[in-house]
Structure formats: C-alpha cells, structure tokens
Structure 1
Amino acid sequence: MSFLSRIMILKSKAHFSTDGNNRPSDSFSRSTFEGARKRKSNQAKSRVVLLVTSFIAVYCVIGGRLAQFAMTPPDTTSSILPPDRLMASRPDIVDRNGALLATDIRTVSLFAEPNKIIDPDEAVEELRTVLPDLDTKGTYKKLAAKTSHFAWLRRQLTPKQQSQILALGIPGIGFRPEKRRFYPGGSTAAHILGYVNIDNRGVAGMEKYIDDQGLADLAAAGMTNDQPLQPVKLSIDLRVQGIVRDAVVNAVKNFQAKGAGAAVIDIHTGEVLGMASAPDFDPNYPNEGATEGWLNRMTNGTFEMGSTFKTFTMAMALDSGKVTLRDAFDATNPIRIGGFIIHDFHGQHRVLTVPEIFQYSSNIGTAKIADLVGIDPHKEFLTRLGLLNKMDTELPEVKAPSQPRVWKKINSITISFGHGVSTTPLQTAVAASALVNGGKLIEPTFLPRTRDQADAIAKMVVKKSTSDDIRFLLEFNGTRGSGRNARVPGYNVGSKTGTADKVVNGRYSNTLNFNSFLAAFPIDNPQYMVMTFIDEPKSGERGGGTISAFTALPIARDIIARAAPILGVQPSFGKDNSALLASY
C-alpha cells in the first residue's frame, strides 16, 4: 500500500469516528457558526438604520430650505419682470363710437448679462454707435459688475435699433419682448386718458382708473396674459374732443395766457363728451410735459369762478321763494362792509330788476339778493349743488374745493358773485347743468351712461320752476347781456360770463384775471353745457381787453359752432324753423 493510500484511510476513519473524543470539537463548530450569523444580522440592521436616517436627514434639509424660501421676501435688487408680466395686455381704450384712443404694441427691450461680458469698455463703445444718448458711465458700471447676472440697458427699442444692435454681435447682450402703450391721437385726449409707466402700468387718468378696477391686482398676482382684452369704451366723442382741445390750445396761444380749459357735457346723462386742459402733454412721451402739462386744470385745479357764480346765487334765491323774476333791488350806490367796497364793473347806478342784475352782472344787486336769503341757506345750497365737496368721477386727478372755515356776512356776499370759494371748472359745469336740465344733479362720468341710468342716480336739487327761470335768465343774458357774442347762427345759446381778479400774495390783482364762461344750448330745450376758462390772458379778441367776453367766450363760441352739428343738434332759423333761403 502506498503512502498516499494510507493517509486517505486514516482521514476517513477520523471523519466517521463516533468516539467521545470528537464531541467537544462538534459543539465548538456550532457555536462558532451561530456567532457569525448573529454578527451578520446585526450588521444588516445597522446598515438599514443608517440608510433610513440618511434619507430622513436629506428630506429634512430639503424641507427646511423650502420653508426658508417661502418665508424669504422677493429679491428686489433686479428690475426684470417675469415674461408673462412683460407681455401682459392692457385693454384698448375707444371713444363712444369705437374710435381707437389707446392700444398696446409689441416692442423689445435691451438687457445684459454682465457676468458674460468680456470687455465692458468695448461693449459700451459699440452700443453708443446705435444709441448715442446712452449713459456711458452708468452703462459701464452695470456691465463691469461681474457678479451680476442681469441688468436693463434700454427699454422699448425700435425694430431698427434692435437690428443694428444684433449686427454688433456683442456677447452677453440680449432682448426681451415687451408691450408698449400707444396713443394714436397723441395729445388730443391726454388728460382724460392719462398715461402708463415703463412697465405698462397706469399712472394717471383713465389708465390708472382701469388698473384700480382690478387689473393691477391681477397683474401683481401673475394672473394676466398676452391675450387681447375687451376694449374699454369712454363717453367722449373723439371728434368733439379734437375740437375742444384745438380751441383751448389756440386760446392759450392767441391770448398769451398761462392756461385754458373747456368741457362739453350732456346735461341729461352727465357724460363728458370732450374735455381739454392746456398746456397738456403727449401720453406717448409723458415726461416731456412734466413741468406744466401734467396738471389737469379742469378737474385738478381750483379757481374762483367769478360772475358765473351769480347763476347759482340767482337759483338759490328763486328756489327759496324769497325772490322772483319780477323783483327789483337798488344798485345805485356801492356797498361798504368790513372795510371793503363792493361796486359794479358795468354800473347802471339805478334800481335793477332781477333779470337786469343778471344781464349787467351787478355785484351790488347780487350781494343784496344773497343777504336777503341768509348765510346758512347760502352755504347749504352750494353744498347741495356739490360745489363745496370733492367731485366724484372716474378720473383720479380731482381736487377738493376750498371755502372759508367760518362763513360770515362778508363771505356770503363775496361768494355770491364768485370770490371766496374755489372750485374746479368741471364741477362748476356739472352744477350749472342741474340748473337747466329740470333740477337734477348728475355726477359727471367718462364712461357711457344712458338717461335711465342717469335718472337712477340723479338728485333733485332745485324745483323745475327754478330751472325754467334760470334758462330764461341765461337766454336773456345770451341775447342782451355779456353773452350775446357767443350766439352761433342757428343755435340758441344761453350763457353767463365770469371775470375774477386773481389773488397774488394774498391780495387781488388789478391786472391778472381768471375768466370763465358757461353756455347751454339750445337754451329753449337744453341738451349740452359748455364750460370754458382762460387763466391770466394778456390780450383779448379783436383788442377787446382781457375780460371773459373777449377771452373765455370765443372759446365756447368756436366749440359750439363746430361741435353742434356733430352732436346732432338741429339748427333753428326763423320763428317757425323754416328755411330762410329763397331761389329765384
């Protein structure tokens, strides 16, 4: 037997031996195996716990960062707006006939990513070849800020400028689409429409009114888009508006005045069909009119309206029942009160009837009428007409009137002929409309309104008989008094002039006037009220002086002559309205 065979036999015997000497070795093997199995099980559990803990920690960190981002205020260091806000549409604005007044047009704006600009000096030099008015220092400072990722360089470029800048091939320069507000009529209805800022948000006029109705809140919440919106229709007639603005601008130029204004109102609905104030501005370039043009003198300027206030004094007296058209008052001598002397500009120095007081614009006669009615009823009546309260209308630019803190006799007397209370020209026209439309005070509106809608909000402020008497007085003055030069052939115009000395350094000036004019037509069946004013004219029509009859009156006459046919007012010739032309 070989050596290898012997070894195999010995190993076999040792393996299958059941001798008691082998039992301790078997027990040791089993315990070793159990120990290894437990160690592996514990290691597996530890790994699972570690993995779960790691996942929990990661998700806690993510949740904490999300909470931090939610509570952190938005970063306001960048001027860029989200794309949906840059392209958000504003509604078109149209006149009562659908003529376009304001719309959005697409444009682009230039921006830079300073961290990608290689050479700021070279970039600025190249950009100035296309944009010569570019702020060199400011632009270089923006482009040199390597930690910045965005900076506006120029908003609202023309297509030609965009093409030229693209041709420069400057790295880090780009364009973002935007919308720009465009006003086809330019300055025609500037103070009514207002204007928007660089981000297409309303700043003044009806543009701001539209935003205040909810458009701005929707934009802030990111709920606007670039889809067209329903147009906003205004009450104005673009044709009438053009006539009114033309007449006002010409008056400032021809009479060398500081300012002027006019409005045409439908007396039965309160709709403003046209309104202008000069100087004005072009809403396409609003900053160019920032010095004087932004002030809307028709609604945001208050003035002593002069003798046009005698219309309200007469209405007060007639409505109180203490005065009738048949009464007369002594206007022979001036009135001395409180150290002041009240006299007549066109003094007749005799007893005047009520129509004559209105015709000759007698301060003495008007003062005695106001004194007869009393101080408290006088104040109450002007308040009832809305002349002492802030006017309620859509335009944001509305100034509150001013009046004495305490009304004394001297205050009531001077206010009776237009000194001592300052109101806006538009609310003066609104109050005058109530005196000729049957006695209904209707707040003005720049949005379409039907007669039924107007009647629902109207307030009766005077009796119908009072309204009839005021129409008579306006017609009487329009044919025999200071308003006779405002009569347009074919149109029966009733009117009242007002010339007020301006207050300079606390004293009334003898050389500076604020002139106003009220005209209702056709006065036998009134439909429209025209209010005009001119501030500090240096000359008058045909060299007639600087009083209302030669400055404010011609503005109204021009407006009525041109606008009446457009408004559909039928001319009347002869007593039976028959044609006065004959053919041979």
Structure 2
Amino acid sequence: MKMPRLWKNRRPAKAEGEGAIVVEGARKAIGGRSRNRVVMAMAVLFGIYAAIGARLVHLGMVEEEVVNLPQSRATASRPDLVDRNGEVLATDIKTASLFAEPRRIAYIDETIEKLQTVLPDLDYEQAYRRLDSDAGFVWLRRQLSPRQQSEILALGIPGLGFRTEKRRFYPGGPTASHILGLVNIDNQGIAGMEKYVDEQGLADLQALGLAGPDTLNPVGLSIDLRVQHVLHDELVQAMERHQAIAAGGVVLNARTGEVMAMASLPDYDPNNPYNALEKDRLNRMTAGVFEMGSTFKLFTTSMALDSGLVSMNDKFDATRPLRIGGHTIRDFHGKGRVLSVPEIFIYSSNIGTAKMADVVGIEGHREFLDRIGILDRVKTELPEVARPTEPAKWKKINSVTISFGHGVATTPLQTATAAAAMLNGGKFIPPTFLPRTEEEANAIAEQVISEQTSAAVRYLFRYNTEKGSGRRAEVPGYYVGTKTGTAEKVVNGRYSNNTRFNTFIASFPANDPDYVVFVVLDEPKPEKPGLSATSGITNAPLAGNIIRRAAPLLGVQPDFGHESEALLVSYQ
C-alpha cells in the first residue's frame, strides 16, 4: 500500500534544541539594539551635561559686567564742624541711595508704579527715560531714609540696588544755617563755612583719596552754640512781635573779633534746604547792604572827636533845619536849641551830627570811614560777603547825609566790627568765624582812633542808655552801652516815612566792653496800636534780652557796684 502524498511530503522533525537557537538569536538582536539605544541616550545626556559644564566654566572665567558706580565726592568724608565748646554743628551720617540697572528691568511701568508707592514725588517721565536705556547704571533717588530703603526692599523689584553714601547732618537745624552753609548732593561745600573748608584744601584731599573719616580732625568755629540759640530765638520772637519782614543779629567779641553768634531771618534748614535760594533767605548780615541810619552817628562823633577839631565841651546850633543845595535836614525829635556833643548823641540830632561832619570836611569824612572798614568788602571766612555802596563822587550833601546814616549802604557785620573798634580802645580787628586769641588779634589789629577818643565814645554809649534812646536795653549788672538807628527805606526812588530799617548797637560792660551786640529789624510794625516803631522801641528790648540771656553763658560776671550815672574818667 502506498503512503499518502501528504505524509510523504511532510518535513522531517527538528532535532532537539533547534527551535531554541532561533529564539536566542532573535533575543540577541533585540538586546543589541537596546544597548545601542542606552549608549546613545547616555551619550546625549553626557553631551548635554558636558555643554552645561562647559558653559558654567566659561561663565566662571568671564568677568561679570561691572556696574560703574561713581567714585566721586559722594562718598568722600568731611570733617565735623564744632563750636568753641566742642558741640557738633555739622557731621557726616551714612545714608542709602537707590540706583537701577536698566538692562535688568523687565517691566518699566510696573517698576515705577511700585516705587511711587514709597516715593510719591518720583517723577514718572524722568524715571521712565532713565530706565528705558541700555545704561548699566542710573541713579533714581539719592539719600533715602532708612524707612524708605526698607519699604523699597520689601517691594522685591529686580534690577534695583542701594549704595551707602555719606550725607551731611546738622543737629541744630536752622539755628546756625547762614554760618555753616550747605553741601550739595555730592557732599561738596557750596556755601558758608562748608565751602570755606573745601577751599582750604579739603577738596584736594578728597580728590587724592586722603579724606577718610579717621584722618580728618574736627574744624572748630568761634561761635558758641548756646549763644547762637539765644540770638536766633530772640530774633524769631522779635520778628513775630513786630511783624517784620526780616531780622538779623551778631554777637561779636570786641577784644578778638570772634563772631560768637550770628543769625539772619528768614533762614532755612540745611538738612532740607529746598528754599535756601529764595531771595528773602539770603544772609543779610554779610551778603546784604543797608543804610544804617543813626547808628552811623557813632562813627561821625568818633571821627569828629578823634580829629581834634571837636571836643566833648563843644556845642552846635540845632535851632533851625539845615538847608544844603535845595535839601532840608531836620531832626526827628528836635530840641530847637543849641546842643552839646553828648546831647547831639543821645538826642540823635541830624543837624548837630551834620555840622560836626562839616567841621572835618568831605575828604576827611570819607578817609575816616575807609579807615574803619566801612567802605571796603569785609574780609572774613564766609564766601557770601557783599561790597558796600557809596556815592561815585562825594559832595557836601553826600557827606551831610552820610553823617547820620543815609547815602552809604554797608553790611551789618562790618558795621558791628567798626563799632567794636570805636569801643575797644580804638583797635580795628577783622571779624572771624574761627577761634582767635587776644594776642593773635592784637598782632593784626590796626589803631584807627586813639584810646582817649574810644573812652569818650564809651561814655557816650553809656550815657545814651541812661538818658537817651537806649534805656529799654538796660540789663542790671551788665552796664550796657547803646546807640539806636531808625533809617527810612527807599521806596519807589524816595525815602518813605512809614517804611523803616531799624538798627541797634549795644556793648557790655560799657566801661570796658567784652562784647558788642548788633541787631536789625526790617520794616517792623508797632507792637500795639498807637505805639511807635522806632529802634528804641523795637530793637532796644531785643538787644537787652539777648544780653540778659547770653552774658552769663559768655562768662561775663554781673557787677552791681557801678554808679548809676555814666562817668567820663579818661577824657580830658
């Protein structure tokens, strides 16, 4: 029997293990491909990490772009300014200033809006222009308060930073602002003694990097902060009491020329000098010139006596007004009779004073005022010093009016300095805001009148307090000498009867003055309706109050042993 075809064509059975070999080969092929994939993945990851590592190494080796913070005087130190007793008047304090790196500011509008929540006065357009640039550094606000810095930090704005700078701080605020002056935003002196210190070499030290906080000694000034406070306080009260538009005063050491205190109102706070450049806030004591009125009679009388052409016993006819070149000279409160020299002084007679000036003559009159420093720019440390004005050509009418304080405009400080020379034995000593000994003062002093004339003037000063217009300045125990001045101001080209510039000179002790006080009130009004607003009413009490409060601080001992009447003991 034949086998079926199908069976006949069937493939022979596989040997044992043959199918397993086929499966194992497939597995090996698949495993090889997997290993390749792993190797490739590892290679890719290694490449990525290698690139990252290389970039990190590169960034580590490349210097980061430097933000050019200005290395200017903004960070330069200044020496402390201290008074004669070591009290700090001006010092440096640390403060934070806000800057931005515009290239790192992502959203300018949002940044400015956030900053305005802390700095509401931040100018939007100006800030936008600064931030919308490719600059690496821009200032946004200098000299922030600690609270402002903290609040800005809390905003978390990227691209902003702070730099610690030095800021000038004045503990007394406006008390001595016109003496101390100002610094600008970069801590450079721009006015007053601050500017003077820069001009003496501080600016050069700062430029050389030698002005460190540990290398600068304090600069001592001549002023006494206690007396400065008294003067400032009394001027504020008098200005308010008489509704004056301005006031000023100086306390001057008559033996050394040291300025113990000086103030001019209105003033400003040097810690926030936003109004320092306003016209009415200038330093009237050195930078303003005024006609001083009857206080000039001190100089005319001194001149006449020192010339030898007039003596204390001489008399001048003040019965009628004096007419010169179409001008009529009258007395404010005329006595209508012949007056002696002391009477001319205490009654402040324009007629009598003009006749004494006429005895000396025009050339002698001008020479005397020039000799005592009235016609020249006063030489002192403060940069803000005005030059006096005088007629281009002196005629007789000029000499006459100048004799009683009209026609020459000068500064209050140099008027006080010249007055001190009339009272201290005749020595003209330039004023200073730095400490000076009496020996140093005598070395530079100029003898402008004789000691005998000075003794006579001291007698007249005391006599005016006892019998004349200075009675309201009397301070028991301090033997005050005085001279008043009530000058009419020029309004629309003419002298006004209702607008006055009142001046007042006081010395103490009058028999041998240690100090001179000079105070001014600009356009004072009567304290009460019906009262006068002359210098004897407005300025005399002001000077008396200053002496009453300042004399003990200055170490002047009260003396109640003087006779009640002024005694002329050294004038023959």
Give secondary structure in 2 for the equivalent of 1:217. helix
Q: CA deviation at 1:252?
A: 1.3
Map of 1:130-529 to 2, 5 A cutoff?
130-145=118-133, 147-227=134-214, 229-292=216-279, 294-529=281-516
Give the counterpart letter for 1:156 in structure 2.
Answer: Q
Give secondary structure in 2 for the equivalent of 1:286. coil
Q: What is the CA–CA distance in structure 2 between the aligned matches of 1:79 and 1:207, rounded to whole Å?
A: 29
TM-score of the two chains, using structure 2 as the length reference: 0.85
Q: What is the CA–CA distance in structure 2 between the aligned matches of 1:269 and 1:543, rounded to whole Å?
A: 43
Q: CA deviation at 1:222?
A: 4.0
Q: What is the CA–CA distance in structure 1 between the aligned matches of 2:251 and 2:421, rounded to whole Å?
A: 14
Residue by residue over 1:351-380, the C-alpha shift from the partner in whole angstroms, topping out at 9 and shown as x without a partner, is 100000001100000011101110000000
Q: State the match for 1:45 in structure 2.
A: none
Aligned partners of 1:541 and 1:554 also within 8 Å: no
Aligned partners of 1:260 and 1:277 also within 8 Å: yes
Q: What is the CA–CA distance in structure 1 between the aligned matches of 2:245 and 2:469, rounded to whole Å?
A: 24
Residues 127/375 of structure 1: CA separation in 2 closer, same or farther (3 Å cut):
same
TM-score of the two chains, using structure 1 as the length reference: 0.83
Q: CA deviation at 1:217?
A: 2.6
Aligned partners of 2:78 and 2:211 also within 8 Å: no
Q: What is the CA–CA distance in structure 2 between the aligned matches of 1:86 and 1:152, rounded to whole Å?
A: 12
Q: State the match for 1:30 in structure 2.
A: none
Give the counterpart letter for 1:506 in structure 2.
Answer: G
Give secondary structure in 2 for the equivalent of 1:299. helix
Residue by residue over 1:507-563, the C-alpha shift from the partner in whole angstroms, topping out at 9 and shown as x without a partner, is 101110001000111101211000011001122478531111111212101100111
Say what the alpha-carbon RMSD is for the aligned residues.
1.6
Answer yes or no: is 1:127 the counterpart of 2:115.
yes
Q: What is the CA–CA distance in structure 2 between the aligned matches of 1:403 and 1:206, rounded to whole Å?
A: 29
Q: CA deviation at 1:576?
A: 7.9
Aligned partners of 1:89 and 1:228 also within 8 Å: no
Q: What is the CA–CA distance in structure 1 between the aligned matches of 2:463 and 2:121, rounded to whole Å?
A: 61
Give secondary structure in 2 for the equivalent of 1:558. helix
Q: CA deviation at 1:490?
A: 1.4
Work out which of the residue numbers 86, 106, 121 in structure 1 matches 2:94.
106
Q: CA deviation at 1:574?
A: 3.9
Residues 364/382 of structure 1: CA separation in 2 closer, same or farther (3 Å cut):
same
Q: CA deviation at 1:348?
A: 0.5
Aligned partners of 1:93 and 1:100 also within 8 Å: yes
Aligned partners of 2:80 and 2:91 also within 8 Å: yes
Q: State the match for 1:26 in structure 2.
A: none
Residues 94/405 of structure 1: CA separation in 2 closer, same or farther (3 Å cut):
same
Give the counterpart letter for 2:423 in structure 1.
Answer: V
Residue by residue over 1:468-516, the C-alpha shift from the partner in whole angstroms, topping out at 9 and shown as x without a partner, is 1101111111110001111111111110000000011211011100010
Q: What is the CA–CA distance in structure 1 between the aligned matches of 2:138 and 2:214, rounded to whole Å?
A: 28
Aligned partners of 1:281 and 1:293 also within 8 Å: no
Aligned partners of 1:193 and 1:206 also within 8 Å: yes
Residue by residue over 1:16-36, the C-alpha shift from the partner in whole angstroms, topping out at 9 and shown as x without a partner, is xxxxxxxxxxxxxxxxxxxxx
Give the counterpart letter for 2:286 in structure 1.
Answer: T
Q: State the match for 1:62 in structure 2.
A: none
Q: State the match for 1:12 in structure 2.
A: none
Aligned partners of 1:89 and 1:227 also within 8 Å: no
Map of 1:50-61 to 2, 5 A cutoff?
none
Residue by residue over 1:198-231, the C-alpha shift from the partner in whole angstroms, topping out at 9 and shown as x without a partner, is 1111111100110111112332344433435200
Work out which of the residue numbers 62, 71, 83 in structure 2 matches 1:95.
83
Give secondary structure in 1 for the equivalent of 2:174. coil
Give the counterpart letter for 2:112 in structure 1.
Answer: V
Aligned partners of 1:236 and 1:273 also within 8 Å: yes
Unaligned runs of 5+ in 1: 1-77, 578-584
Q: CA deviation at 1:575?
A: 4.2
Aligned partners of 2:79 and 2:213 also within 8 Å: no
Which shifted more, 90-99 or 536-545?
536-545
Query: Would you say how many aligned residue pairs link Structure 1 and Structure 2?
Result: 498
Give the counterpart letter for 1:386 in structure 2.
Answer: G
Unaligned runs of 5+ in 2: 1-66, 565-572
Aligned partners of 2:471 and 2:540 also within 8 Å: no
Q: State the match for 1:67 in structure 2.
A: none
Q: State the match for 1:533 in structure 2.
A: 520
Residue by residue over 1:356-410, the C-alpha shift from the partner in whole angstroms, topping out at 9 and shown as x without a partner, is 0001100000011101110000000000000000000000110010000000000
Aligned partners of 1:541 and 1:550 also within 8 Å: no
Work out which of the residue numbers 30, 49, 70 in structure 2 matches 1:81.
70
Q: CA deviation at 1:128?
A: 1.4
Percent same amino acid among aligned pairs?
A: 61
Residue by residue over 1:159-192, the C-alpha shift from the partner in whole angstroms, topping out at 9 and shown as x without a partner, is 2221221222222111111000000010110100
Give the counterpart letter for 1:168 in structure 2.
Answer: L
Give secondary structure in 2 for the equivalent of 1:561. helix
Q: What is the CA–CA distance in structure 2 between the aligned matches of 1:177 and 1:210, rounded to whole Å?
A: 24
Q: What is the CA–CA distance in structure 2 between the aligned matches of 1:543 and 1:393, rounded to whole Å?
A: 42
Q: What is the CA–CA distance in structure 1 between the aligned matches of 2:562 and 2:110, rounded to whole Å?
A: 82
Which shifted more, 557-566 or 125-134?
125-134
Residue by residue over 1:51-93, the C-alpha shift from the partner in whole angstroms, topping out at 9 and shown as x without a partner, is xxxxxxxxxxxxxxxxxxxxxxxxxxx99521x6332110001
In the TM superposition, structure 1's runs of 4+ consecutive aligned residues that sit over 6 Å from their partners are none
Q: What is the CA–CA distance in structure 2 between the aligned matches of 1:405 and 1:158, rounded to whole Å?
A: 54
Residues 459/304 of structure 1: CA separation in 2 closer, same or farther (3 Å cut):
same
Residues 195/79 of structure 1: CA separation in 2 closer, same or farther (3 Å cut):
farther
Aligned partners of 1:86 and 1:177 also within 8 Å: no
Which shifted more, 409-418 or 485-494?
485-494
Q: What is the CA–CA distance in structure 1 between the aligned matches of 2:88 and 2:527, rounded to whole Å?
A: 36
Q: State the match for 2:559 in structure 1.
A: 572
Q: What is the CA–CA distance in structure 1 between the aligned matches of 2:532 and 2:88, rounded to whole Å?
A: 40
Aligned partners of 2:76 and 2:166 also within 8 Å: yes
Q: What is the CA–CA distance in structure 2 between the aligned matches of 1:112 and 1:293, rounded to whole Å?
A: 38
Q: What is the CA–CA distance in structure 2 between the aligned matches of 1:325 and 1:85, rounded to whole Å?
A: 61
Give secondary structure in 2 for the equivalent of 1:381. helix
Residue by residue over 1:404-434, the C-alpha shift from the partner in whole angstroms, topping out at 9 and shown as x without a partner, is 0000000000000000000001100000100
Aligned partners of 2:325 and 2:397 also within 8 Å: yes
Give secondary structure in 2 for the equivalent of 1:285. coil
Aligned partners of 1:80 and 1:152 also within 8 Å: no
Q: What is the CA–CA distance in structure 2 between the aligned matches of 1:477 and 1:125, rounded to whole Å?
A: 68
Q: What is the CA–CA distance in structure 1 between the aligned matches of 2:409 and 2:210, rounded to whole Å?
A: 44
Q: What is the CA–CA distance in structure 2 between the aligned matches of 1:256 and 1:576, rounded to whole Å?
A: 38
Aligned partners of 1:359 and 1:480 also within 8 Å: yes
